[in-house]
Amino acid sequence: MPGLEDLYREIILDHYRTPRNRGELAPPAVRAEGHNPLCGDEIQVYLDVVDGVVNDIKVAGQGCSISQSSASMMSQAVKGKGLAEVRALVRRFRGMMSVEDAEDEITAAETAAVKLGDLEALQGVVKFPVRIKCATLAWNTLLLAMSELPAA
């Protein structure tokens, strides 16, 4: 059985105790809400995109250490990135969480080239399958927010 140290890495706990980019954004930033049906956790992602680039992002809501730290790291990772890059990152992260995404315009090579940085710390979550939904909650909510963006 995998030990708790595989799950609760120090960087995860750091993001849990001191979450980055907490808060809300006023319109024209878009807002999306995600729910983890397993535990009732709720998360809101506010996304401000200017000229195809994530100008700002904020995260609100409550959740466990895994969902909150994943949200915090996600917000750091996507800020300042172009939307195509963000999509590749989401895909790469979901892939690390063993979530299979359908083929689309993002190639496997592009996805593989994405650097996860601190997000690698969440790798241990796959050993605790019940918690994968916690780790992916913020990312799925980010995708929802991106789908709410007005067409460029």
Partner 1 sequence: MSFDAATVRKDFPILDRTLDGRPIVYLDSANTSQKPRQVIDAMTQFMENSYAPINRSAYKLAADATELFEGARRKVGEFINAPSADEVVFTKNATESLNLVASSWGRANLHAGDVVVLTHMEHHANIVPWHMLVAERGIRLRWVPLTADGQLDLTDLATLLDGAKVFSFTAMSNVLGTITPVKLLCEAAHAAGAITIVDACQYVPHNVTDVQTWGADFVAFSSHKMCGPSGVGALWARAALLDAMPPFLGGGNMIADVRLDGFTCAPVPAKFEAGTPPIVEVVGMGAAVDYLTALGMANVRRHEMDLADYAINTLTERYGDDITIHGPTNIEVRGATLSFAFRGIHPHDLSQVLDQHNVCVRAGHHCAKPLMRLLGANATARASFYIYNDESDADSLADALEGASDIFGL
CB of 39 to partner 1, least distance (A): 4
Please identify, using beta-carbon distances, which residue of 27 and 37 lies nearer to partner 1. 37
Interface residues with partner 1 (CB under 8 A)? 1, 3-4, 7-8, 13, 16-17, 38-42, 62-66, 128, 131, 134
CB of 62 to partner 1, least distance (A): 5
Please identify, using beta-carbon distances, which residue of 38 and 112 lies nearer to partner 1. 38
CB of 13 to partner 1, least distance (A): 7
CB of 119 to partner 1, least distance (A): 19
Which residues lie across from 22 on neighbouring strands? 59
Please identify, using beta-carbon distances, which residue of 42 and 56 lies nearer to partner 1. 42
**Taking Cα atoms as reference points, which of 105, 111, 75 lies closest to residue 93?**
111
